Structure formats: structure tokens, C-alpha cells
């Protein structure tokens, strides 16, 4: 049996729409082995598809199909720790788990780059799947059927406090809210800030982050779909975060925090308990390892 551990991810990070993302220290774990039938369960009690519509199974089958190998069935046991439809890469984690697990079962016929390219083609963009596989902070784009990426370790004095609401937001609905065209000035606004954000996270020029996460491409439109989101964003910054942004398609809000601030999480919890009890802040850090595989008995 193969065990695949895939971290949660946070895409966009404000200004880096569909191009940058980071892996977090929260992960799903999937146990997978070949079987003569489809047998899918969730050990953490979440409602997951138990038939061939399961995303992990579908992605695993795609690898078998590409490699020309028959797949009669799989036994899959999911341990779902990443909140679903909250903008933390839960679907990407399933995609990556299915691809990596199948590749391992087949003796690794596909390279890591092959897996990244295939995962991005399934997801539609690489900003979640690349950090989920590689770990760390990743800038990536997809062109000519290939994902071009660079992975760099971020400055070590950063924490990430993620404000997670008790409601879902489907990626399809969130993406549909974004206009098809944008003014030239908005594009320049984001390009400058995405470059500044990447440089600041790597070098530790923390004073830049509040400006660098600024965005005109997606967040202004998505806030309309996130009840309480704008207030949480403002509160996250008011409580002392270096910057804050909508994670992925939302609705979760991520506050980037100097890790020397040991009471930020407590202040965030007190604020939510008093003003927004349907939101829960949790403390995460950057996962530098990425997806991990091992054989278990």
C-alpha cells in the first residue's frame, strides 16, 4: 500500500493571480493500493464520492491510461484534514494524491515534471498543484503544455494565520465572478505587486508585504461572495498582520504575520469569538517538503 501526504496550498496570495502559491503545514493523507474493485472510504468521516467519480480515483486512472496499463480497481482510504471548498487547495491535494499514488504503484514511469504538467492540465492552472508537489513558495505558469516554475524557500520569520469560515465557496462560482477583460492599469498594478511580493517573501523585506498583496484582478469581485470577508480582511490587518489576502478562490482569508508576534493568533481568536463566531483562525507555517510518499504495510 502507498501512503501519499499532500499539503494544503494557498494560491494567488493577493497580487499573484493564477501564478504564485505556497504550501502550508496542513495536509491530507491518502492510502492507496490496487484492487479488483473500487473501494473508497474516508477515515475522518467526511463525505467523499465512493465510486469512480472520486477525483483521486479519476486522476489515478488517467495515469494508468497514459501508461497503457489496465486499472480494475483501487482501494483508497482518505484522511481529509484540509477544509473542502475553502480556498486551501483541497481539490489540488486530491489531484496530486491520485497522480503520485498511481505513478508510484506503476513503478514511477512519469517524472516529477510530467506529474506537475498533468496536474496543472487537470486543474487548469499550476498555482496550487506546483507548491503541493514541490513545497515552499512557487511561482509558475503553464505554456506549450508545460509548467514553467521556480521554487524558493521563503524568509523564515513568517507565520500564516488562516481565517476559515463555516461556509463553502465553490471555485466555479468564485471564478465566474471575475470579469473577462481588465483595464491595462489594473494589469500593471498587479504585475508590480506580484514581483514585489515574491522578492519580499524571499529576502525578508517584510515592510513591503502590506502593499505587495494588493490586487485589482480578483479580490474586489470575490468579496461580494464572502459574507464578512471584507471585515475579516480589515481586522486581520488591524490586529497587526503584515498583509492579508483571499486564499485561492476563497472564502478563507490569510494573514501574513511576523512570527515574533506570539500573541497574534490569540488576538485573532478573541476578535472572531466576539464579532464573527462563524470564522475560525488557525496558525500555519510554510511546508518546505511538499508531497511525500511512502510504502506502508
Q: What pLDDT is stored for residue 152 in this prediction?
A: 87
Checking if the pLDDT of 297 tops 80, the result is: no
Cis peptide upstream of residue 236 (ω within 30 degrees of 0): no
Overall average pLDDT of the 265-289 stretch: 97
Checking if the pLDDT of 114 tops 80, the result is: yes
2-11 and 292-295 beta bridge pairing = antiparallel
Q: What pLDDT is stored for residue 296 in this prediction?
A: 84
**What confidence tens digit (pLDDT) does each residue in 17-26 have?**
999 999 999 9
**What confidence tens digit (pLDDT) does each residue in 124-146 have?**
999 999 999 999 999 999 999 89
The closest alpha carbon to 213, from 181, 231, 236, belongs to 236
Q: What is the dihedral of CA 92, 95, 97, 101, to 10 degrees?
A: -160
Q: Which residue has the higher pLDDT, 37 or 47?
A: 37
Q: Give the chain's length.
A: 297
3 state SS of 110: coil
Q: What pLDDT is stored for residue 153 in this prediction?
A: 84
253-258 and 2-11 beta bridge pairing = unpaired
**What confidence tens digit (pLDDT) does each residue in 44-69 have?**
988 899 999 999 999 999 999 999 99
Q: Say what the pTM is.
A: 0.94
* Rounded Cα–Cα distance for residues 99 and 92 (Å): 11
Note whether 247 and 87 are within 8 A (CB): yes
User: Which residues are bridge partners to 256 per DSSP?
Assistant: 160, 243
Overall average pLDDT of the 244-250 stretch: 97
Q: What pLDDT is stored for residue 112 in this prediction?
A: 97
Cα(first)–Cα(last) distance of the chain, in Å? 6
Average pLDDT, the chain: 96
Strands (E), the chain: 2-11, 20-34, 39-42, 74-79, 137-143, 146-152, 158-165, 243-246, 253-258, 279-284, 292-295
Note whether 32 and 1 are within 8 A (CB): yes
**What confidence tens digit (pLDDT) does each residue in 54-108 have?**
999 999 999 999 999 999 999 999 999 999 999 999 999 999 999 999 999 999 9
Q: What pLDDT is stored for residue 155 in this prediction?
A: 87
3 state SS of 95: helix
* Rounded Cα–Cα distance for residues 218 and 223 (Å): 9
Residues 6+ positions from 111 with CB-CB distance below 8 Å: none
3 state SS of 258: strand
* Rounded Cα–Cα distance for residues 127 and 13 (Å): 10
Q: What pLDDT is stored for residue 232 in this prediction?
A: 97
* Rounded Cα–Cα distance for residues 29 and 131 (Å): 16
* Rounded Cα–Cα distance for residues 177 and 185 (Å): 20
Checking if the pLDDT of 156 tops 90, the result is: no
Percent helix, percent strand, percent coil in the chain, to nearest 5: 35, 25, 35
**What confidence tens digit (pLDDT) does each residue in 168-226 have?**
999 999 999 999 999 999 999 999 999 999 999 989 999 999 999 999 999 999 999 99
Note whether 9 and 91 are within 8 A (CB): no
C-alpha cell at 236: 486581520
Q: What pLDDT is stored for residue 24 in this prediction?
A: 98
Amino acid at each position: 500500500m502507498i501512503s501519499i501526504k499532500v499539503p494544503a496550498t494557498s494560491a494567488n496570495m493577493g497580487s499573484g493571480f493564477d501564478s504564485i502559491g505556497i504550501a502550508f503545514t496542513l495536509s491530507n493523507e491518502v492510502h492507496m493500493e490496487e484492487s479488483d474493485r473500487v473501494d473508497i472510504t474516508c477515515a475522518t468521516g467526511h463525505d467523499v464520492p465512493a465510486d469512480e467519480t472520486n477525483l483521486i480515483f479519476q486522476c489515478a486512472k488517467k495515469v494508468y491510461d497514459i501508461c497503457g496499463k489496465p486499472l480494475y480497481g483501487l482501494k483508497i482510504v482518505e484522511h481529509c484534514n484540509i477544509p473542502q471548498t475553502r480556498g486551501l487547495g483541497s481539490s489540488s491535494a486530491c489531484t496530486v494524491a491520485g497522480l503520485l499514488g498511481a505513478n508510484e504503484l506503476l513503478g514511477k514511469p512519469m517524472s516529477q515534471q510530467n506529474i506537475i504538467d498533468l496536474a496543472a492540465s487537470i486543474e487548469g492552472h499550476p498555482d496550487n498543484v506546483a507548491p503541493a508537489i514541490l513545497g515552499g513558495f512557487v511561482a509558475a505558469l503553464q505554456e506549450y503544455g508545460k509548467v514553467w516554475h521556480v521554487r524558493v524557500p521563503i524568509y523564515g520569520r513568517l507565520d500564516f494565520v488562516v481565517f476559515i469560515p463555516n461556509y463553502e465557496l465553490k471555485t466555479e462560482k468564485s471564478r465566474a465572478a471575475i470579469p473577462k477583460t481588465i483595464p491595462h492599469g489594473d494589469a500593471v498594478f498587479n504585475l508590480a505587486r506580484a514581483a514585489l511580493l515574491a522578492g519580499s517573501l524571499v529576502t525578508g523585506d517584510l515592510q513591503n508585504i502590506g502593499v505587495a498583496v494588493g490586487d485589482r484582478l480578483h479580490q474586489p469581485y470575490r468579496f461580494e461572495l464572502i459574507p464578512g470577508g471584507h471585515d475579516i480582511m480589515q481586522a486581520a490587518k488591524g490586529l497587526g498582520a503584515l498583509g492579508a489576502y483571499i486564499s485561492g478562490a476563497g472564502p478563507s482569508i490569510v494573514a501574513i504575520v511576523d512570527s515574533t508576534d506570539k500573541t497574534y493568533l490569540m488576538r485573532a481568536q478573541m476578535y472572531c469569538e466576539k464579532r464573527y463566531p462563524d470564522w475560525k483562525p488557525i496558525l500555519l507555517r510554510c511546508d518546505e517538503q511538499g508531497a511525500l510518499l511512502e510504502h506502508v504495510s
